[in-house]
Amino acid sequence: MRTPEKQALAAGLQSMRRIGILPGMHETISTEGVTPVDGPDPDRVETWIFDLDNTLYPASSDLFVQVNARIRAFIAAALAIDETEAGSVQSRYFDSYRSSLRGLILHHDVEPRRFLDYVHDIDLSPIGPDPALRAAIEALSGRKVIFTNGSTNHARQVLRQLDLEGLFEDIFDIEAADYLPKPYPETYHQLIARNGIAPERSVLLEDMAINLEPAAELGMTTVWVRDPERLDAAQARPDYVHHEVCDLTGWLRSLLG
C-alpha cells in the first residue's frame, strides 16, 4: 500500500507532466546509475541529511569555480600577496584543514563572517528551480536537514534559487560547527546533538566521499552523490559509502516507488 507521502509524490509528478515540466507517461525518464533496490527503506529513515553545494544541484553548474576564484581574491587582499601565491595558500590550507577558512582563522586571525559573505557573493543563475527534486524530497517521510561547510545565508540563497525553501527543518552550517568543517568527527557529533538525530536511522547524502566516512562510523547510511558529467573511473567507491548515485532525483523517486 502506498503511504500518503508516496501518493503525494505520484500526484505531484502527474501534475508536472500535465503542465509539461516532466516527460509524459510514455516517454523515457533517464535513471542512469540508479538501481531501485540500492537504497535504504525510506519508511525506516527518521532523518535525511543533505549536503548543499554540488549535491542538491550538479557540480557541472560550476558555482564552485566562482567560489574558488573569490577565495583566492580574498586571500590575496587579506595577506597582501598576488593571486598566484594566494592560490598556493588556498590549496595548502584546504589540504591541511579541509577548509581555507580554517587555515585563515588559525594563522591569520581572519574574521570568518567577512570571509563567508565575500566568497559566497556569486552569480546563482546557472542553477534554477527543480520541481521534480522538490517533489521527491517533500515526499520523503522523516525530517530533512541541511549539513553544509558553507554559511546559512548562502544555503538559504541556494535553496531559494532551487525552489527548495521550506523543506528543511535545520541548516547546520560552518558557524554552527564552530568553523570546524566536515569531515572533522566533532562536527558530526554537534550536528547529531543539535538535531536529536539517531545515526542508525539517518541518511547522509553528500558529493564528497571523504565527508561520508565519519557518518558511516557513527552508524549513518551514506549516499555518495556524483555528477555523471564528472565521473572519474579511477576513483573507487570506498567501503564506507553504502550507496552511489548519479541522479539524485531519480534515485529518490525509485526509493519512493
- Compute the distance between CA of residue 136 and CA of residue 5 in angstroms, rounded to an integer: 9
The mean pLDDT of 252-257, rounded to a whole number, is: 93
User: pLDDT digits over 101-116, tens only?
Assistant: 999 999 999 999 999 9
Local structure of 181: helix, strand or coil: coil
Domains of the chain from N-terminus onward: 4-60+128-255 (3.40.50.1000), 63-119 (1.10.150.450)
Local structure of 240: helix, strand or coil: coil
Long-range contacts of 180-187 (CB under 8 A, 24+ apart): 180/102, 181/97, 181/98, 181/99, 181/101, 181/102, 181/149, 182/98, 182/147, 182/149, 182/206, 182/208, 182/211, 182/214, 183/98, 183/210, 183/211, 183/213, 183/214, 184/98, 184/214, 185/214, 185/217
Kindly report the average pLDDT of the chain as a whole number: 88
The mean pLDDT of 224-251, rounded to a whole number, is: 88
- The CA–CA distances, whole Å, from 187 to 82, 96, 110, 191 equal 33, 17, 21, 6
pLDDT for res 234: 60
User: pLDDT digits over 179-228, tens only?
Assistant: 999 999 999 999 999 999 999 999 999 999 999 999 999 999 999 999 88
Is pLDDT of 18 > 90?
Answer: no
Q: Which residues pair with 144 in a beta bridge?
A: 48
**Placement of cell 552523490 in the chain:** 225
Is 244 exposed, middle or buried (CB count within 10 Å of its CB: 0-12, 13-18, 19+)? middle
User: pLDDT digits over 118-177, tens only?
Assistant: 999 999 999 999 999 999 999 999 999 999 999 999 999 999 999 999 999 999 999 999
Backbone angles phi, psi at 197, to 5 degrees: -85, 135
Give the CB-side neighbour count of residue 12, counting CA atoms within 13 A. 18
pLDDT for res 65: 96
pLDDT for res 215: 98
User: Using 50, 70 and 90 to split pLDDT, how confident is the model at 232?
Assistant: confident
Helical residues (DSSP H) of the chain, grouped into ranges: 4-18, 63-79, 83-97, 100-108, 112-119, 131-139, 152-162, 185-195, 213-218, 248-255
Instruction: Report angle CA 158, 163, 167 to the nearest 5 degrees.
Output: 90
- Compute the distance between CA of residue 202 and CA of residue 20 in angstroms, rounded to an integer: 34
Is pLDDT of 24 > 50?
Answer: no
